[in-house]
Amino acid sequence: MAEIDLRKISKSFDNTQVIKSLDLSIANGEFITIVGPSGCGKSTLLRIIAGLETQSSGDVIIDGREVNKIRASNRDLAMVFQSYALYPHLTVQQNMMVPLKLRRLTKMERMPLLNWFLPSRRSKMEEINDTVRQAAETLQITHLLGRKPGQLSGGQQQRVAVGRAMVREPVAFLMDEPLSNLDAALRVHMRAEISELHRDLKTTFIYVTHDQAEALTMSDRMAVMMNGEILQLDTPNEIYKNPANLKVAEFIGSPKINVLPAESDEKGNITCQGISMPQSLQIPKECKLLLGIRPEHMELITAKNKKGLVGKIQHRENLGSDVFLHLILNGGEEKIIVRSDPNKALDTIIGDEVKIGWQDDHVLAFERDGQNIAII
């Protein structure tokens, strides 16, 4: 296991700064996910940790030791790439043996023909084969050891890539969008497998992805990164419930959070879309704000005497267990999405006007510039 500290890391390519004085501390054995949109600098950050990219300034500290000038091969880290990077002409077993041969065999022991006359090589190769077999058993790929990458499915290739990293017994695993080439069903399966592997190995995992589902389901903590900066670092649950700002709130959650302009009066009562909404929240008084309400926290109102926002159904998505209603409010330009129980939305059709409300304890409030407003 390894404790990794990033101190004031910056990186520029020509005149473009992709990472901006970034600090991040990763605990021993932690599974931390760096999540953000494409181009935010997350993969570059991972490559800097691995030693594959040199930072413009700042320090990478592994277990209390600065490693800025230490080569990638000597940092004792294992990288799993998006492309798997398997040698197509080698079998699975041979692919997994590559890092062990480079580390454990001398140059002479790796030379063709000559190596067979060295007794030391035979004992080392037995150890290498044992290590590969143990990793294959852990990943349940023993039956694939004789195959070549072209004979494997995407999920099987991913397991082999992880296995090749495992045999090195690194102090930390670095994973750069390893599931992005898999289909949706297989990604769900592999998320569970990687999480289980982390629990078994108890090794530090640093995982980079643009997929919030991976970040939310796998991480001890997650760092939301945009434009070269970490906007929020916390547990998945805390980031979902209490995003630091509107950018984080809009990135985390699917479908995207609904954002509605609103105002509060001298008593803290909220007016939204011209309707006074009685509710129990303690919102700051006399201010203009933005309400953030996730689709899963909005609801159809059927009671005639209960106030709510009126919207016209523009689009309707039936997902079986849920129905997503895309609404335009009061004939205006505001659009929102409501997740509804199929039974409640059973009789709705496109063009219907419906009344909607929300669950007060799940409402988020932001200033007009996007900063979070504390709700008492």
Running along the chain, 376 residues long, what does each successive block of 10 average in pLDDT?
94 95 97 96 97 97 96 92 88 93 81 69 86 91 95 90 90 92 86 91 95 95 98 97 96 94 83 71 79 93 81 92 90 86 87 88 90 79
Judgement on whether residues 100 and 116 belong to the same structural domain of the protein: yes
Residue 320 has φ and ψ, to the nearest 5°, of: 90, -75
The CA distance from 372 to 203, in Å, is 35
Judgement on whether residues 332 and 189 belong to the same structural domain of the protein: no
Query: Which of 247, 280, 313 is the last residue in one of the domains?
Result: 247
Query: Which of 204, 224, 247 is the last residue in one of the domains?
Result: 247
**Domains: count for the chain:** 2
Query: Which of 186, 212, 247 is the last residue in one of the domains?
Result: 247
Residue 157: closest CA among 209, 213, 81, 211: 81
Distance of CA 194 to the CA centre of its chain: 13
Kindly report the CATH number assigned to the domain that includes residue 89.
Answer: 3.40.50.300
Query: Coil, strand or helix: which one is 286?
Result: coil
> What per-residue confidence (pLDDT) applies to 376?
63
Q: Identify the helix (H) or strand (E) that includes residue 232.
A: strand 229-234
Judgement on whether residues 148 and 275 belong to the same structural domain of the protein: no
Residue 228 has φ and ψ, to the nearest 5°, of: 80, 10
Judgement on whether residues 311 and 207 belong to the same structural domain of the protein: no
Instruction: Give 353-366 as a DSSP string.
Output: EEEEEE-GGG-EEE
Q: Identify the helix (H) or strand (E) that includes residue 130.
A: helix 119-139
> What per-residue confidence (pLDDT) applies to 112?
66
Judgement on whether residues 24 and 94 belong to the same structural domain of the protein: yes
Kindly report the CATH number assigned to the domain that includes residue 356.
Answer: 2.40.50.140
Judgement on whether residues 264 and 203 belong to the same structural domain of the protein: no
Tell me the C-alpha to C-alpha distance, in Å, between residue 22 and each of 48, 102, 168: 12, 34, 29
Residue 291: closest CA among 268, 325, 324, 257: 257
Judgement on whether residues 223 and 276 belong to the same structural domain of the protein: no
Judgement on whether residues 293 and 147 belong to the same structural domain of the protein: no
Q: How many CB atoms lie within 10 A of CB 202?
A: 9
Q: Which domain holds residue 289?
A: 255-373
User: Cα 93–169–178 angle (5° rounding)?
Assistant: 70
Sequence-separated contacts (24+) of 47-52 with Cβ below 8 Å: 47/176, 48/6, 48/9, 48/11, 48/19, 49/4, 49/6, 49/77, 49/174, 49/206, 50/75, 50/77, 50/79, 50/174, 51/75, 51/77, 52/79
Judgement on whether residues 175 and 280 belong to the same structural domain of the protein: no
Judgement on whether residues 275 and 311 belong to the same structural domain of the protein: yes
> What per-residue confidence (pLDDT) applies to 269?
80
* CA R_g for the chain: 26
- Can you state the angle between helices 184-201 and 119-139, rounded to 10 degrees? 120
Judgement on whether residues 236 and 288 belong to the same structural domain of the protein: no
Judgement on whether residues 271 and 201 belong to the same structural domain of the protein: no
Q: Are 52 and 30 in contact (CB under 8 A)?
A: no
